[in-house]
């Protein structure tokens, strides 16, 4: 989304649309969270222990996966609405790749949502196993 700007005057920029700024912010936040979770997973593999106590780590992963998945879905829905409105007003001409890049950016965000939702399902399974058995289930 950030690369979706033209330097020519009068051309649209993603900065002019609040929905596209929301898409960019949500994707950036989720990317940072995913990087943190990846580092925590590497830590867990190398040290055979979680950065937080086990029960707290399970709830942290589950709750944050849920919150960020919903935030990402809301952002992508807003971006889809803004992109459809642009093409409906005829603001997308054949020479401008702005709308195509906006659609691609929103589509990649939806793909990110799918993987984050899958992660939320897996972390929910881990929480359920913890509540039922009282011990941590490693996937």
Rounded distance, CA 41 to CA 128, Å? 20
Task: Specify whether the CB–CB gap between 72 and 64 falls below 8 A.
Answer: no
Q: How many structural domains compose the chain?
A: 1
- Residue 88 confidence (pLDDT) above 90: no
**Looking at the domain assignment, is residue 77 inside a domain?**
yes
| pLDDT single digits (tens) 126-138 | 899 888 887 765 5
**Looking at the domain assignment, is residue 139 inside a domain?**
no
**Looking at the domain assignment, is residue 62 inside a domain?**
yes
**Looking at the domain assignment, is residue 48 inside a domain?**
yes
Average pLDDT in the 91-105 region? 73
**Looking at the domain assignment, is residue 59 inside a domain?**
yes
Average pLDDT along the chain? 84
Domain of 104, in residue numbers: 15-133
**Looking at the domain assignment, is residue 33 inside a domain?**
yes
**Looking at the domain assignment, is residue 42 inside a domain?**
yes
**Looking at the domain assignment, is residue 4 inside a domain?**
no
């Amino acid at each position: 989304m950030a690369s979706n700007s033209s330097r020519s005057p009068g051309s649209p920029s993603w900065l002019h649309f609040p929905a596209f700024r929301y898409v960019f912010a949500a994707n950036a936040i989720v990317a940072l969270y995913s990087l943190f979770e990846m580092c925590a997973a590497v830590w867990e593999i190398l040290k055979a222990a979680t950065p937080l106590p086990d029960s707290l780590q399970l709830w942290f992963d589950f709750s944050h996966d849920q919150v960020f998945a919903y935030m990402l879905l809301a952002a992508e829905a807003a971006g889809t609405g803004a992109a459809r409105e642009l093409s409906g007003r005829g603001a997308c001409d054949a020479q401008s790749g702005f709308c195509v890049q906006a659609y691609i950016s929103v589509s990649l965000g939806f793909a990110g949502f799918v993987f984050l939702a899958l992660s939320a399902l897996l972390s929910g399974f881990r929480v359920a196993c913890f509540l039922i058995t009282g011990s941590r289930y490693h996937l």
